């Protein structure tokens, strides 16, 4: 019954598919047929248009050919025997005698219908014609003759008078001028015959004056000789019936559309294509009607149309059969799947699986129906599984109800054994229940607290009870999702403990709370830990002093107090001198002991209300508040110095330490705490630069210098990025020969604004900021590149290389990559190490002699020569010349400057030269400015000189010109 009910009004998908795709195929076939018909029609139209164009071109060609032939005859005939002489004599008889024998042959060979001779006045002397009326009185003919006689130029035209002729008028010229004119005429029938010989189409020529049409407007197809419009045509039996009953307007309308008019004669179809005959006189219009037989073309178009229709119907039938055949099995499978749905609805899962058994039908190419069948089987399995689950759950529902009661008892036991105290407040009766654990947490296990909420609130600390009541009220009014409040509650024996109260209200349908229950948790230990963490967050872990955060907070409070009242304060920034030496020598553990003892001494000597803090490392700060005057600051500073004068015990060692102190006083300026701390830090660095253990008050000049130093460092970083630095080269000259023996590379800086920054400004800043390392590496690479260019130029001419001296500072000497950078540059430019010399100062060697010696040995290993620069100005020691592998000793310019005025300096220079000579080292004198100094140094045995006498530091271009000039300096 169920299947019969759902099958009523059922239409198979097979017929739906057949109908839909049949309509689509019909539309496709109809479109194809229309398109095919359109293409055939277009081909037909194109062929007709081509025939029309070809016919017009043939007529134009035949007409031009006829004109050319007539003109040729018009020039040829007067040249024949006796014609010109007769015209010149004006003798008509002589002319007739000379021309008559030629006329018969001209009729036969040239198809002439008219020949006339006229004298110089245009009067007819002789005329011969065949069925053609005389042209003596024709105004058109008279005008043409007059024009030819006047211009002496031939003229060809088509003229209709009685008959339509193509006439040629040509002048007959003599020795004394124009003798007359000749007129030759040919009928248009000759043109039709010529066209019939060259084309398969038919043609009819019709004279078109409207006065010759019949009264009903149709064409008068009588010959012209009988007064009709018909000039000539090819086939009388075919063309005359086609042209009958055609009006002049119909023909003209077809011409204006540049189209064709169809006509039917019997079982044959024709197309008429009218157009004006080329070369006719504007007043003697002649229509040329080209007629083509299109019967076969029409028959082919009709056959193609029926063929397309047959192909479409055959394709539709094949398609219908294919749809029926291809959909039979899938639709049967689909109906089988649809028949399973009632079985599934009736929970007959086994019957459904049996009816749709796929074990015997495994398709090679599974499709959507196969997937549907598998899904249906899976659905049957799933529904059966769900039904079994529902049964199992129904069976277990009773068991769950029983377990629920057990769980309730378990919860009651868990609540009794929980560490938190529970409470339950009936808001309707204003009665509250306290669990035994709740009472025990307050030491009231054996005390009857009653059931009033006041028994709870009365034990809360007086400062906290208002907060608790406010939190409870907020939750009951719905302004908070739950109750959570931390309060101090009185313990029966242990005083106040921190408790956390949590609770949740139960509300009716209108949202009004009628019950609230919750717990009480002891958080005393948690609060104690939080207080400890808060203290650790604001204090130094090593010394216990306030840290930077707490110090800045107190400094901020002091700034606020100073703004509100007459309140003076000061910030001291203390830095432990040479603390790194303590850590490096005794270890960090001993260093920590020193810091702890120093912090304790600072704490003891300060006044009440003052703050001492450790910012980190060996930096301490002191906040002096409520200062009566500046003398109080000096007293505190002195007490700090006195306290640190006592030695500090670090294990078995006694250490004496000092603090460098910077002081920043409160001012009227609106400064923040971190700005005041920065000012004190700036003053501390100023004090440290003067002397260890000193102190200095901050002033704006210090900040200005610090800002300038920072701006200079930033500008140097940008200069390195934008290649603002350049190298200049100061020549080194042999004092014996006056020839160039090398250069010293000197860094120069012209900033982006065009200003030159002196080396004594940016070199110390680079040393301080650490930029000396990238700057030094740049100098090395540029110097090696320049040395390589000079080496290449001089090698080409057989000259030795010119070494370039590169200055290396103490910080560069500690750079582990110094040797590798120089070696890589030499390798990159393929030059020997002898082309580079490295200059080191005495101070750089003293800072770390062992490391300096290791670097110098590495430089020597790659072939680089070494120079000790400014010898005699620092911690000069003759052991340096002995222990370090120097090749060159450079005497400082201060000795050279006083060479001629101070005998002591001359003695020192002579001693240095002697020692260097004994150690096989070259001596270079710096700062030579006069020829006398150069001569004196040469006499003392100095080999090389450098100074303004020869040249200042030169840019690359002038230095290259100096190298190429091979200049010899005069030294005497």
Lowest mean pLDDT among 470-474, 710-714, 861-865: 710-714
pTM of model > 0.85: no
Closest CA to 476 of 496, 493, 453: 453
State the CB neighbour count (10 A cutoff) for residue 494: 10
CA distances from 616 to 496, 557, 663, 697 (A): 38, 22, 18, 22
Average pLDDT (630-657) is 85
pLDDT higher than 80, residue 623: yes
Instruction: Kindly indicate the confidence band of residue 13, based on its pLDDT and cuts at 50, 70 and 90.
Output: low
Instruction: Kindly indicate the confidence band of residue 807, based on its pLDDT and cuts at 50, 70 and 90.
Output: very high
950 versus 878: the higher-pLDDT residue is 950
Average pLDDT (308-326) is 76
Average pLDDT (132-140) is 63
Question: In whole angstroms, what is the distance from residue 487 CA to residue 527 CA?
Answer: 11
Enumerate the β-bridge partners of residue 886. none
pLDDT higher than 60, residue 510: yes
Instruction: Kindly indicate the confidence band of residue 1, based on its pLDDT and cuts at 50, 70 and 90.
Output: very low
CA distances from 828 to 208, 310, 432 (A): 102, 87, 92
pLDDT for the residue 823:
94
pLDDT tens-digit profile of 167-193?
888 888 877 778 788 888 888 777 777
Instruction: Kindly indicate the confidence band of residue 701, based on its pLDDT and cuts at 50, 70 and 90.
Output: low
Structure token pair of residue 162? 């009685």
Q: Which of 121-135, 317-331, 755-769 is predicted most confidently? A: 755-769
Lowest mean pLDDT among 58-72, 519-533, 704-718, 810-824: 704-718
Average pLDDT (263-274) is 70
pLDDT for the residue 734:
94
pLDDT higher than 60, residue 3: no
Average pLDDT (318-346) is 73
Radius of gyration of the CA atoms of the chain, in A: 64
How far is C-alpha 763 from the geometric centre of its chain's CA atoms?
Answer: 42
Closest CA to 583 of 617, 532, 634: 617
pLDDT tens-digit profile of 558-594?
888 888 877 889 999 999 988 887 887 788 888 888 8
pLDDT for the residue 578:
84
Closest CA to 464 of 435, 442, 486, 441: 486
According to DSSP, residue 219 is labeled -
pLDDT for the residue 11:
58
Average pLDDT (312-330) is 74
pLDDT for the residue 864:
93
Q: What does the mean pLDDT of the chain come to? A: 81
pLDDT for the residue 79:
75
pLDDT for the residue 211:
52
Instruction: Kindly indicate the confidence band of residue 361, based on its pLDDT and cuts at 50, 70 and 90.
Output: low
State the DSSP H helix or E strand holding residue 47, giving kind and residue range, or none if neither. Answer: helix 13-76
């Amino acid at each position: 019954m169920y299947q019969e009910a759902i099958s009523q009004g059922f239409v198979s998908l097979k017929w739906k598919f057949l109908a839909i795709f049949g309509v689509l195929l019909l539309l496709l076939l109809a479109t194809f047929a229309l398109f095919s018909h359109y293409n055939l029609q277009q081909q037909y139209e194109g062929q007709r248009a081509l025939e029309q164009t070809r016919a017009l071109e043939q007529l134009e060609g035949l007409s031009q050919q006829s004109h050319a032939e007539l003109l040729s005859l018009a020039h040829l005939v007067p040249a024949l025997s006796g014609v010109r002489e007769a015209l010149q004599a004006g003798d008509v008889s002589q002319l007739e005698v000379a021309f008559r024998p030629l006329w018969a042959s001209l009729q036969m060979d040239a198809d002439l219908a008219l020949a006339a001779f006229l004298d110089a006045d245009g009067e007819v002397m002789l005329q011969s014609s065949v069925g053609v009326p005389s042209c003596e009185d024709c105004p058109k003919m008279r005008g043409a003759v007059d024009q030819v006689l006047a211009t002496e130029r031939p003229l060809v035209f088509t003229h209709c008078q009685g008959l339509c002729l193509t006439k040629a008028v040509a002048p007959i010229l003599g020795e004394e001028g124009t003798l007359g004119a000749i007129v030759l005429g040919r009928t248009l029938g000759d043109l039709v015959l010529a066209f019939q010989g060259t084309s398969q189409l038919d043609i009819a020529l019709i004279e078109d004056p409207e006065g010759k049409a019949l009264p009903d407007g149709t064409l008068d197809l009588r010959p012209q000789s009988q007064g009709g419009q018909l000039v000539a045509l090819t086939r009388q039996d075919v063309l005359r019936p086609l042209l009958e009953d055609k009006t002049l307007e119909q023909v003209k309308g077809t011409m204006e559309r540049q189209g064709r008019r169809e006509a039917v004669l019997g079982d044959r179809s024709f197309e008429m294509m009218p157009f004006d005959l080329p070369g006719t006189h504007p007043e003697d219009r002649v229509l040329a009607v080209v007629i083509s037989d299109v019967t076969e073309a029409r028959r082919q178009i009709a056959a193609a149309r029926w063929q397309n229709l047959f192909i479409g119907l055959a394709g539709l039938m094949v398609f219908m059969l294919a749809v029926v055949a291809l959909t039979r099995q899938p639709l049967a499978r689909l109906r089988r799947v649809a028949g399973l749905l009632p079985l599934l609805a009736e929970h007959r899962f086994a019957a459904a699986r049996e009816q749709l058994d796929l074990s015997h039908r495994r398709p090679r190419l599974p499709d959507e129906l196969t997937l549907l069948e598998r899904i249906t089987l899976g659905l049957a399995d799933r529904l059966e599984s769900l039904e079994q689950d529902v049964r199992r759950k129904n069976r277990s529902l009773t068991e769950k109800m029983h377990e629920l009661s057990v769980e309730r008892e378990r919860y009651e036991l868990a609540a009794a054994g929980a560490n938190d105290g529970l409470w339950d407040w009936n808001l309707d009766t204003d009665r509250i229940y306290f669990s035994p654990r709740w009472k025990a947490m307050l030491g009231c296990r054996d005390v009857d607290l009653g059931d009033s909420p006041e028994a709870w609130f009365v034990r809360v600390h007086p400062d906290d009870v208002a907060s608790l009541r406010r939190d409870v009220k907020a939750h009951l009014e719905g302004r908070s999702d739950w109750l959570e409040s931390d309060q101090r509650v009185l313990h029966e024996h242990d005083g106040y403990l921190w408790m956390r109260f949590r609770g949740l209200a139960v509300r009716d349908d209108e949202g009004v709370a009628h019950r609230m229950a919750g717990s009480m948790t002891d958080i005393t230990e948690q609060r104690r830990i939080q207080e400890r963490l808060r203290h650790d967050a604001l204090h130094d872990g090593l010394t216990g002093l306030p840290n930077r955060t707490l110090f800045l907070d107190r400094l901020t409070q002091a700034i606020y107090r100073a703004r509100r009242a007459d309140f003076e304060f000061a910030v001291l920034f203390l830095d432990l001198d040479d603390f790194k030496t303590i850590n490096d020598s005794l270890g960090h553990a001993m260093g920590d002991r020193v810091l702890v003892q120093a912090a304790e001494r600072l704490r003891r000597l300060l006044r009440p209300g003052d703050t001492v803090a450790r910012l980190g490392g060996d930096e301490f700060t002191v906040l002096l508040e409520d200062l009566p005057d500046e003398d109080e600051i000096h007293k505190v500073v002195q007490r700090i110095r006195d306290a640190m004068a006592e030695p500090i015990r670090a294990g078995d060692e006694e250490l004496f330490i000092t603090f460098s102190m910077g002081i920043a006083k409160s001012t009227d300026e609106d400064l923040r705490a971190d700005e005041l701390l920065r000012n004190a830090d700036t003053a501390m660095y100023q004090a440290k630069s003067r002397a260890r253990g000193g102190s200095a008050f901050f002033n704006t000049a210090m900040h200005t210098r610090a800002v300038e130093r920072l701006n200079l460092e930033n500008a140097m970083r940008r200069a390195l990025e934008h290649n603002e630095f350049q190298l200049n080269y100061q020549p080194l000259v042999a004092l014996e020969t006056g020839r160039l023996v090398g250069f010293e590379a000197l860094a120069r800086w012209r900033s982006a604004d065009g200003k030159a920054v002196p080396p004594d400004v940016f070199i110390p800043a680079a040393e301080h900021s650490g930029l000396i390392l990238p700057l030094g590496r740049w100098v090395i690479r540029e110097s090696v590149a320049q040395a390589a260019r000079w080496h290449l130029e001089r090698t080409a001419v057989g000259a030795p290389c010119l070494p370039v001296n590169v200055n290396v500072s103490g910080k560069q000497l500690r750079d582990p990559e110094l040797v590798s950078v120089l070696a890589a540059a030499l390798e990159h430019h393929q030059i020997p190490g002898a082309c580079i010399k490295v200059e080191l100062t005495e101070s750089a060697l003293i800072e770390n002699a062992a490391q300096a010696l290791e670097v110098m040995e590495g430089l020597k290993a790659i072939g680089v020569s070494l120079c000790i620069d400014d010898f005699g100005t620092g911690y000069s020691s003759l052991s340096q010349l002995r222990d370090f592998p120097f090749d060159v000793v450079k005497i400082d310019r201060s000795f050279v400057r006083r060479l001629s005025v101070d005998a002591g300096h001359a003695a020192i220079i002579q001693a240095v030269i002697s020692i260097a000579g004994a150690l096989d080292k070259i001596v270079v004198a710096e700062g030579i400015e006069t020829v006398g100094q150069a001569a004196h140094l040469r006499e003392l045995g100095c080999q090389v000189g450098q100074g303004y006498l020869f040249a200042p530091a030169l840019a690359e271009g002038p230095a290259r010109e100096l190298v190429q000039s091979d200049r010899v300096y005069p030294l005497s």
